[in-house]
Amino acid sequence: MTLPMTLDALIPAPFGFIGVYCHADNTHSAGMDEIHLLQHALPVRTPAHPRAAAWAAQIEAYLADPNAPLQAPLPAVGTPFQQRVWQAMRAIPVGQTLSYGALAAQLGSGPRAVANACGANRLPLFNPCHRVVAQHGLGGFMQGHPAGLAIKHWLLAHEQQPKYTPR
């Protein structure tokens, strides 16, 4: 996946940065908005796209509390099969995982097809592909990016942490 030259929002995260890029065309490509998990900061557009601000607020809330709801303002664009996989990923509760094989069995598919759909996911926190793991280990993340497994490990550990809820 090629990153845009500038992003619409950049959110600091414990593992680096989360970048949000919103396509300018609000017709057919609006669903092509992307979330990037990054090690280094990239330039940010000014002013930010209106959708980017909404996404950034949700991401910041998630980073503070993994139980904060994440609801993508627009659906991601993908094949019907990818949409089914992403919908199934959204059903995996925070703090839990499911293997590629188990998710594939739910969908009547194969683990490799599920892994490919995970790799095509442009909204990795909203469609939580980090919750899909190999039968014996973490599996892949971010299409083999060198920092991918460290980020996946951080996200899974983050979701295991109990958060203080004031009464």
Instruction: Report pLDDT digits (tens) over 3-37.
Output: 555 678 888 888 888 888 877 654 323 234 566 77
Are residues 28 and 87 located together in one domain of the fold?
no
Q: Does residue 90 form part of some domain?
A: yes
Whole-angstrom distance, CA of residue 108 vs CA of residue 118: 16
Number of compact structural domains in the chain: 2
Indicate if the pLDDT at residue 103 is higher than 50: yes
Q: Does residue 73 form part of some domain?
A: no
Q: What is the mean pLDDT of the chain?
A: 82
For residue 56, the enclosing domain spans: 9-64
Are residues 118 and 156 located together in one domain of the fold?
yes
Whole-angstrom distance, CA of residue 112 vs CA of residue 41: 32
Q: Which of 18, 125, 129, 133 is catalytic?
A: 129
Please say if 22 is a catalytic residue: no
CA distances (Å), origin 119, targets 13, 51, 86: 21, 23, 11
Angle at 55 between CA 52 and CA 59, to 5 degrees: 130
Are residues 54 and 118 located together in one domain of the fold?
no
Domain's final residue, options 39, 64, 89? 64
Q: Does residue 3 form part of some domain?
A: no
Q: Does residue 4 form part of some domain?
A: no
Residue 50 has phi, psi (to 5 degrees) of -55, -40
Comparing 64-73, 78-87, 94-103, 108-117, the range with the smallest average pLDDT is 64-73
Domain's final residue, options 64, 90, 108? 64
Q: Does residue 59 form part of some domain?
A: yes
Q: Does residue 108 form part of some domain?
A: yes
Whole-angstrom distance, CA of residue 117 vs CA of residue 129: 9
